[in-house]
Amino acid sequence: MLRLDKYLADCGAGTRSEVKKYLRAGRVSVNGSVCTKPETKIDPEQADVTFDGRHLRYRRFAYYMLHKPAGVITATEDTRHRTVLDLLEDVPYSNLSPVGRLDIDTEGLLLITNDGALAHDLLSPAKHVEKTYLCRLAAPATEQDAEAFAEGIVLEDGTRCRPALCEILPDGALVTITEGKYHQVKRMWAARDNEVRYLKRLSMGPLVLPDDLPAGAYRELTPEELHQLKDRDYARE
């Protein structure tokens, strides 16, 4: 059983304090009857709850895949820049946060959810979740670069990175890392006396950025994608 105010908040109707106001105003019905008490206990799987006449479907957690564009920061709020959450218009869920971060000038796949346990797993250094980036570089990548990445790049501050995969492309490289140090891919190339001119994350764990999801667009994860994420088989522990 679940308190009605928590049910409404989890459904994205508003914050706990906001939904209490909605309840007092008589805007919520449970099984056809107006309910004004936030402490009312309901079965989230069986109760028929409406808010302003709209039927709510209970789901505690939400999962969105965003194609982050350049110029947007990976944050929940900011007074100077547009954030990734600003791009999620008309999303009926609260307490959403990006999983990890992409620099303001970096594009690509970003998972946004309110499932804190899953986010922790994906970001845990012990899980070694793979993340693949498309890199456009100031100078062509070389086989020596690929060998250095495979051995483990030593950053300019002396930090040694875990071994990474570097696949050379005609106009850049694909780099796959299993950790998430600050500005890591850019710093790895800087340690090779090269500069990243363009960076785009193509995948994270089992999630792959779809070709038909344009920059700035988002969609919910499919049931299959969510199952793959929660299966944990992608993580090399």
Tokens of 8: 């409404």
Tokens of 200: 């785009």
**Given the residues 5, 10, 86, 103, the one annotated as active site:** 103
Question: Residues 6 or more apart from 195 whose CB is under 8 A from it?
Answer: 137, 138, 139, 189
Contact present, 150 and 182 (Cβ < 8 Å)? no
Could you tell me the mean pLDDT of each successive run of 10 residues in the chain, 237 residues long?
86 82 94 93 88 84 95 90 90 83 96 92 88 98 98 96 97 95 96 98 96 96 90 54
171 given a catalytic annotation: no
Determine the residue type at 101: R
Report pLDDT for 235. 45
Report pLDDT for 236. 42
Q: 62 by DSSP, 3-state: which?
A: coil
C-alpha to C-alpha distance for 27 and 56, rounded to whole angstroms: 13
Q: 218 by DSSP, 3-state: which?
A: strand
Report pLDDT for 237. 40
172-177/131-137 β-pairing: antiparallel
DSSP string, 81-146: S-BGGGG-TT---SS-EESS---TT-EEEEEEES-HHHHHHHH-GGG---EEEEEEESS---HHHH
The single residue listed with the structure tokens 């990548």 is: 141
C-alpha to C-alpha distance for 76 and 98, rounded to whole angstroms: 8
Q: Which domains does the chain have, with CATH numbers?
A: 2-55 (3.10.290.10), 63-125+207-231 (3.30.70.580), 130-204 (3.30.70.1560)
Tokens of 40: 């009312």
Contact present, 35 and 24 (Cβ < 8 Å)? no
